[in-house]
Structure 1
Amino acid sequence: MAYSYMPGFGNDFETESLPGALPQGMNSPQRPAYGLYAEQLSGSPFTAPRGTNERSWLYRIRPSVKHHGRFSAASYPHWKSAPNPGDHDLPLGQLRWNPVPIASEPTDFIAGMRTVTTAGDVFGQAGMAAHVYVANTDMVDDHFFNSDGEMLVVPQVGGLRFLTEMGVMEVAPGEVCLLPRGLTFKVELMDGEARGYVCENYGAKFTLPDRGPIGANCLANPRDFKTPVAWFEEKETPCRLTVKWCGGFHVTEIDHSPLDVVAWHGNYAPYKYDLSTFSPVGAILFDHPDPSIFTVLTAPSGEEGTANIDFVIFPPRWMVAENTFRPPWYHRNIMSEFMGLIHGKYDAKEEGFVPGGMSLHNMMLAHGPDADGFEKASRADLKPVKLENTMAFMFETRFPQLLTRYAAELDTLQDNYIDCWSGLKKRFNGTPEGDWS
């Protein structure tokens, strides 16, 4: 599978699948080569500042107006959008789930979307939804695009092949990909079945966070983000296109494939990223840094330093801090945290939080290491140690994440999650040493 490197967010690049299909020196020639149609896909307002203006020029067999016939209503009852309050009767609390079982009946990527939380307002283009997906069937003649937001896909079981109108991406567990708002695609399963997570971002687009005093290097580097080369499907058979728009679903029947872009150039495109190329930065003397130091991508809000969403990972890394409680400390947070585990163990909760599972710690609800993790970390010999066989992530948002009825009624919900802290003892005894017996 061929990819072009994404040299930097905001920079233009170009690709063609037939020689000479991409016009040079102009965007919309009177008669494009091969009888193609020129079309612009805009991911920002026309008048956005140059640094944030995103658009790509597509040169395709048919213009998109030929891909959108008369729509009729479609139903995906497990896919919810914000606002979605009052959907269940589960009391407030810290929550954790075991993995969602992969469907037994034929289920493709879109039909397999199950919303766990919603936050913000899809109509106001702010906030997000956290989903899990389970799939065991390819999308053959079915296609989809999302008008409500971009989709950050985090595979956990099974690879996914995204056939998009701008090229093909193969994404395996340990990688992530982003599908821009409005991009048409279908999904094939590389391993027969698949499960993973999706962050549907209603707000400002994901971008790389500023590094601040870290400087020019480390964290996620632009050169490691890859976007597909041009590819097209000339298929003259009945197909369907489903659109998500303001929380509803609409389907249209067409007599050809909409994946017909022969060449394109611009800076609004899908991309993939290998999480193993993230270069962590951490404390090299004492104290545990804030989890924000592990931010891969951020979707900013209108308030500086307060993200609409942060996508954070906890990858393999060396732990070297002296005289320090090394796992994440106990905390309460103005942000709301949806976590998932791709593989391995999470150092703050080695038991109960399993690959494919998920947890939700909403704004200002206390959380942190379980009792066993606290005991282990408090008594550990503080030699340098490398955390290996681990990859957890977090969708963190400024908005409270409201649970869906589906998630509240899942059989995999751990009713005893709160008990993981029950073994924490009172150690205060009036002496500086405390009671560590």
Structure 2
Amino acid sequence: MVFYYRQGEVPKKRHTVFMKQDKLLREEVFGLNGFSGRFSLLYHLNPPTRIAKLGEWKNNVLEEWKDAGYRHHKLSTSKLRKSNDPFLDRIALIFNNDVILSYVKIDEGETKLFYRNADFDEVYYVHEGEITFKSVFGEMELSQGDYLVIPRGTTYKFDFKKSSELFIIEGKQIEIPKSYRNDYGQLIEGSFYYNRDIKLPVLKTFDEKGEYTLVIKTIQGYQSLTLDSNPFDVIGWDGYLYPFALSVYDLEPITGKLHQPPTVYTTFTANNFVICTFVPRLFDYHPQSIPISYYHDNVDADEIIFYSSGQFMSRRGISKGDITIHRGGHVHGPQPGAVESSLNKRSTYNDEVAIMVETQKRVKLTSYAKEVDDPSYPLSWYT
């Protein structure tokens, strides 16, 4: 995050002796980009370096769908199997060196493992479900329509209150757009959302001994470790780096006299991609405006859209949970008849929500994507 936040007990001065009940607490500097990026200071009851046992290493190199060709795709997440774990068993569908897009269907219950992604920030979009997110920074309650943004290196776990489905985005430097922020980190007038829309973790401290399994993920695979104390033993922290959540239902869509480009719905920026959110909104107010999207070819970008809810005016044959991939170099836009039917309409459907990930480098599809791909989708503009 980009503004200062504090939870629990912290000493008056950093890097000084801090005692609690005659016990010396252990300070951790949790930061990005060496010692020059955003960071937070956490105060542990136990040294966060203690490893009781080194577990197994598991390779996890993504298997590419080599003969996917270069065309548009539609993937049906409804056809995916359930996952046994949201971290180890998430189903990766789309990727390149900058981003991995995955999907998870998971039953209710609390995860036994603790997780930490060492290489990528993570965004979990709650497509369906109710979840308690638990982390070294504290807890947050999540529900349908919430984005959960987790900085890389964060230790966390989940308690799924009911069966849930999650669209997951992994990448570097996922953050609130700089264009929305003033020099102090405050979100400016005219931005897509405001500071008070952001959900922040509430600290809960666990002073427990036992065996706790932590799994650390890298681009290449997973390393498991056994700890002898609960890693959520922080009694206080402060700083500018921590997980947060944002509901799509709190977003404030920007409209104009004529059709606005998707960039006005940018929700988060990242290294070589952006995350945008399409939410219910009024259409343009020029008397002759065409409210629906124009045909377009963003030659240098690949466009991935996850359809979360509602009926989308520009597309037929799209179901809740579908993912489309529109390739740069191929023109795409409204299907036949969509432009005509949109004329004189004043707004989108009330429950229309979609998540767009637009990449600056070409994406690849995995073997899992092949299993749920609709090969006829590129012809959907013909009839």
Q: TM-score, normalised to structure 2's length? A: 0.91
Counterpart in the other structure of 2:4: 12
1:222 equivalent among 195, 208, 230: 195
1:42 equivalent among 16, 31, 36: 31
Cα 1:188–1:259 shift into 2, 3 Å? same
Counterpart in the other structure of 1:430: none
Q: Is 2:1 aligned against 1:32?
A: no
Distance in 2, matches of 1:97 and 1:118, equals 14
Given that 2:311 and 2:349 are in contact with CA atoms closer than 8 Å, whether structure 1 keeps it comes out as: no
Distance in 1, matches of 2:345 and 2:326, equals 31
Q: Secondary structure in 1 aligned to 2:229?
A: coil
Deviation at 1:215, TM superposition (A): 6.6
Q: Is 2:374 aligned against 1:421?
A: no
Q: Secondary structure in 1 aligned to 2:94?
A: strand
1:38-187 equivalent positions in 2, closer than 5 A:
38-46=27-35, 48=36, 53-67=37-51, 69-74=53-58, 80=62, 87-101=65-79, 103=81, 107-120=84-97, 127-187=98-158
Instruction: Kindly provide the amino acid, as one letter, of the partner of residue 347 in structure 1.
Output: M
Counterpart in the other structure of 2:307: 341
Aligned positions, number: 374
Give the share of equivalent positions with the same residue, in percent: 19
1:205-284 equivalent positions in 2, closer than 5 A:
205-211=174-180, 216-283=189-256
Q: Secondary structure in 1 aligned to 2:369?
A: helix
Instruction: Kindly provide the amino acid, as one letter, of the partner of residue 197 in structure 1.
Output: F
2:10 equivalent among 16, 22, 35: 22
Distance in 2, matches of 1:100 and 1:255, equals 40
Deviation at 1:176, TM superposition (A): 0.6
Q: Secondary structure in 2 aligned to 1:387?
A: coil
Deviation at 1:160, TM superposition (A): 2.2
Cα deviations by residue, 1:260-292 (Å, 9 ceiling, x for unpaired):
112111111000011122111112x3x311110
Distance in 2, matches of 1:383 and 1:183, equals 45
Distance in 2, matches of 1:141 and 1:162, equals 13
Instruction: Kindly provide the amino acid, as one letter, of the partner of residue 175 in structure 2.
Output: F
Distance in 1, matches of 2:112 and 2:373, equals 35
Distance in 2, matches of 1:215 and 1:57, equals 27
Name structure 2 gaps, 5 residues minimum: 182-186
Instruction: Kindly provide the amino acid, as one letter, of the partner of residue 250 in structure 1.
Output: Q
Name structure 1 gaps, 5 residues minimum: 1-8, 121-126, 302-307, 424-437
Distance in 2, matches of 1:140 and 1:236, equals 18
Cα 1:67–1:341 shift into 2, 3 Å? farther
Q: Is 2:278 aligned against 1:319?
A: no
Larger-gyration structure (1/2): 1
Instruction: Kindly provide the amino acid, as one letter, of the partner of residue 235 in structure 1.
Output: E
Q: Is 2:346 aligned against 1:384?
A: yes
1:297 equivalent among 268, 272, 276: 268
Given that 1:67 and 1:258 are in contact with CA atoms closer than 8 Å, whether structure 2 keeps it comes out as: no
Cα deviations by residue, 1:152-200 (Å, 9 ceiling, x for unpaired):
1111121222111111112111111101100011111121x11121110
Distance in 1, matches of 2:52 and 2:209, equals 15
Given that 2:31 and 2:40 are in contact with CA atoms closer than 8 Å, whether structure 1 keeps it comes out as: yes
Given that 2:291 and 2:345 are in contact with CA atoms closer than 8 Å, whether structure 1 keeps it comes out as: no
Q: TM-score, normalised to structure 1's length? A: 0.80
Distance in 1, matches of 2:205 and 2:175, equals 26
Deviation at 1:102, TM superposition (A): 6.2
Root-mean-square deviation (CA), in Å?
2.2
Counterpart in the other structure of 2:184: none
Given that 1:108 and 1:139 are in contact with CA atoms closer than 8 Å, whether structure 2 keeps it comes out as: no
Counterpart in the other structure of 1:200: 170
Distance in 2, matches of 1:154 and 1:189, equals 14
Given that 1:173 and 1:342 are in contact with CA atoms closer than 8 Å, whether structure 2 keeps it comes out as: no
